[in-house]
Chain A
Amino acid sequence: MENYLLYGVTILFIIISFYKDRKKTKIALKKAWKAFENILPEFLGIIIMVGIVLAFLNPEVVSKIIGKQSGWPGVLIAAVVGAITLIPGFVAFPMAAMVLQSGAGLMQIGAFVSALMMVGVVTFPVETKYFGKKLALWRNGLAFLFSFLVAFIIEKVVG
């Protein structure tokens, strides 16, 4: 739904822009294509790698590894899995809820969700292309550490 809305808004803007200035609109579309083409190889490579990684994971496996009793090692595993995988939110949240019901711990799920959102191991090549290796390493490293804090606080508040 959200996605079709994005297309709708984009088309509306193109029409307005075209109506106001044809030439500028053409330049804008050309720029858009060039920027897209620039990053396309990374996108395609990432998509295939994500498919491979996710093929190995399923809710039963996940809840076995990161159950309530798994403690901090479980949190670490959850954060690593979250950091590596790239799952869209509308798949990740129901999946997290499912894993929670099948016995995963809150702290582990907190780390998983947080790392999933902030850390991107598979998108690292894209991030490096834009921000360089140093900054991408720092950002992902700090975000990874931060997800342990999030896990701890969620356990204290919600658990």
Chain B
Amino acid sequence: MMRGVVPFLKRYKLVIIAAAALGVLLLFWRSLGIKAVGISLFSFKEMALVIPPIFILLGLLDVWVPRETMVKYMGERSGVKGVILAIILGSAAAGPLYGAFPVAAVLMKKGAKFSNIMAFIGAWSTTKIPMFLFEISALGAKFAVTRMLVDIPGIILIGYILNKTVSDKEKEQLYERAQELAA
């Protein structure tokens, strides 16, 4: 029994700290605390709606899409086609940015090129199509289109720089890490 408790506490360190902070808030600034609980519950619902299907789809992708297919379309020799595919994949995605990381891990495990992974993350964060439609209705087409047109070269440039900052050896380590995390 005891052996299981310590690793559990260690893994859930962040949750325990955050919950303690929430507890302090509830004790001393009651209305703010209640508001924080409400927002947390709302985000939890959000997460419950998006995250489980993403992980299941990833599991299925892992089992059904052979490594060769991924290497062919997004691997080292995929060229411009690979970048475009990465951006389309990211843009079609649903859910917040943190949903992109597990997807990236599976893509890496399957042999997608590192710069394509960076383009994918960038696209997921800024050019998501469902969000774009929403942005148009809330802030107007001029605002949304301008932002989109600045962002597309931006994510490609950022991806390029990120690709340069990591050495080949570090990339190798990241790919190993992805193997473990994607299970």
Contact = CB atoms under 8 A, between A and B. Distances in A.
B130 to A, nearest CB: 5
Contacts of A146: 154, 158
Contact of B63 (A27, A93, A118, A120): A27
A63 interface: no
22 contacts: A9-B57, A17-B64, A28-B62, A31-B62, A34-B183, A36-B55, A43-B98, A44-B12, A50-B39, A52-B22, A52-B40, A54-B36, A86-B98, A93-B134, A117-B97, A118-B126, A130-B177, A135-B174, A143-B125, A146-B154, A154-B143, A158-B142
A89 B135 contact: yes
Contacts of B44: 47
Nearest to B33: A55
Instruction: Give the size range of B's interface with the partner.
Output: 35 or more
A93 B139 contact: yes
Contacts of A17: 60, 63-64
Nearest to A23: B63
Chain A binding site: helix, strand, loop or mixed by DSSP? helix
Given A9-B53, A27-B59, A134-B170, 4 more contacts: A29-B56, A35-B181, A48-B15, A143-B125
Q: Which 7 A-B pairs have the closest CB atoms?
A: A51-B40, A45-B14, A32-B59, A93-B138, A48-B18, A28-B59, A55-B36
A125 B38 CA distance: 23
Contacts of A80: none
A84 interface: no
B71 interface: no
A143 to B, nearest CB: 6
Contacts of B13: 41
Contact of B98 (A56, A97, A123, A153): A123
B130 A138 contact: no
Contacts of B183: 31, 34-35, 38
Given A55-B39, A114-B151, A126 B17 contact: no
Interface in A1-48: 2-7, 9-10, 13-14, 17, 24-25, 27-36, 38-39, 41-48
A47 B18 CA distance: 9
Interface residues of A, number: 78
B15 A31 contact: no
Contacts of B15: 41, 44-45, 48
Contact of B174 (A35, A109, A131): A131
A28 B57 CA distance: 9
Interface of A: 2-7, 9-10, 13-14, 17, 24-25, 27-36, 38-39, 41-52, 54-56, 86, 88-90, 93-94, 96-97, 100, 106, 109-110, 113-114, 117-118, 120, 123, 125-127, 129-132, 134-135, 138-139, 142-143, 146, 149-150, 153-154, 157-158
A121 B98 CA distance: 11
A131 B49 CA distance: 25
A47 B59 contact: no
B50 A3 contact: yes
A42 to B, nearest CB: 6
Contacts of A135: 162, 165-166, 170, 174
